[in-house]
Amino acid sequence: MLRAIRALNLPDWWLAGGAVRNTVWRKLFPQDCELTIKDFDIAFFDGDGKREGEIAARETLQKEFPNLIFDVKNQASFGEWRPWHFSFCSSGDGIAHWLHTATAVGIRLNDADEIEIFAPYGLADLFGGVIRPTWHNADAEAAELKKLDFLKKCPALVTGEVVPEVMGNPPSLNGLVCDQFIVSEVWYDGVLETPANVSYLRFGEQWHHMCIDVATIFWSLLDKPPEALSVPEENVEIPLFDLGERYHLNGVVLERYEMAYIPDGAVVRFFFANGTCVLIKCIDDHETYEIVV
C-alpha cells in the first residue's frame, strides 16, 4: 500500500492515524484488543489549499484497493472548511494537532524504499499503549470520548496526562547549586506587561536560557551572561530582575525541576533545597512567575 500511495506523488504525504496506531496496539495486545482499521488516513500538503487532489487520490486508491476506505486530506485546506481560525503550514503541523500522541504518528516510503517516520511526540506512547491527548486537545471533548472508546475496545491500554512540547535539550540540573536565577521583564510605556519573559539560570560557569511560548518550552545554552535590552522608539524596556537574590536562591541546591502542561499553557517548577518553589508559567500567552514557600 505504501508504494501505491507514493505513486500518487502527493506532496509531503504521510500515512497516519488509526491505521498505524491500531496496527501497533493489536500487536501489543493480541488477546485483548478489538480495535480495527476503519479507514486509512493520508495527510498531504499542497499549499494552494484546493481539495481536487484529495478526490483524485482517493479514487485512484479505491480502484486499486476496492475493499478498503481511504480518507485523504490536504492539510492546507482545513482552514477553509473547518470552524478554526488558522490553517496548517505542513502535513506535520496538521498531524501534530490530532487528538492523541499515539495517533499523531505517520509513516511513508521514500524513493529508496526506506520507511520514514514522523512522530512529533515520540513513539513511547504508541509502543507503550498509552492514550495521551496532545496539548492542542487537552480539554477537547472529542479526545475524552475517543479515549473512552479506546478503553472499551482495548482495556489493556493506559491513560496519560498531557505533556507540553519541549524544544531543545532540557539540562540535567537536579542536585546542582544554582548560582543565579534571573528573569527578563517586559515594560511598555512604563507598565510591566510581562514579569518573566525569559528565564536565565547559571550553574557554575554555564548559563541556561528557558522560555515558554503558549504550551511549548524552549531550552538552550548561552555563551555569555544575559543583558538588559531597550527599544526606545517603541517605548519598550526589557530589564533583568534577579529572582535568585530577591528570594534567597543563589547558592542553593536545585533539588529538581519539572515541566508540565496547564490549561492554556505550560509551567516549569523549580524545587530548591531551602523549601522554595519557583513557578515560571505561561497562560494565554502571558509569561509570569510565582514563588511558593
Q: What 8-state DSSP symbol labels residue 226?
A: -
Residue 276: CA count within 13 A, CB half-sphere: 19
Write out the residue limits of the CATH 3.30.460 domain(s) in the chain. Answer: 2-162
Q: Please, which residues bridge with residue 259 across strands?
A: 268
- Give the pTM: 0.72
Strands 277-283 and 265-272: antiparallel
Sequence letter at residue 140? A
Buried b (16+ CB within 10 A) or exposed e, 23-59: ebbeebbeeebebebeebbbbbbbeeeebebbeebbe
CA distance 54 to 190: 53
Ranges under pLDDT 50 in the chain? none
For 191, counting Cβ atoms within 10 Å of its Cβ (0-12 exposed, 13-18 middle, 19+ buried), the class is exposed
Residue 20, φ and ψ in degrees, nearest 5: -80, -50
Residue 253, φ and ψ in degrees, nearest 5: -70, 130
CA distance 280 to 195: 10
At residue 251, the 3 state secondary structure works out as coil
Q: List the grid coordinates of 212.
A: 515558554
Question: What sign does the dihedral 145-147-149-155 (CA atoms) show?
Answer: negative
Residues 6+ apart with CB under 8 A from 43: 13, 14, 16, 73, 75, 91, 94, 95, 106
Q: Please, which residues bridge with residue 196 across strands?
A: none
Q: List the grid coordinates of 83.
A: 470552524
Sequence letter at residue 70? F
pLDDT digits (tens, 9 = 90+) for 197-210: 999 999 999 999 99
pLDDT digits (tens, 9 = 90+) for 41-82: 999 999 876 778 899 999 999 999 999 999 999 988 876 656
Q: Please, which residues bridge with residue 201 across strands?
A: 181, 208
Which helix (H) or strand (E) element contains residue 270?
Answer: strand 265-272
Candidates 96, 170, 188; CA nearest to 133 is: 96
Chain centre to alpha carbon of residue 158: 20
Pick the CATH number of 2-162 from 3.30.499, 1.20.272, 3.30.460, 3.40.50: 3.30.460
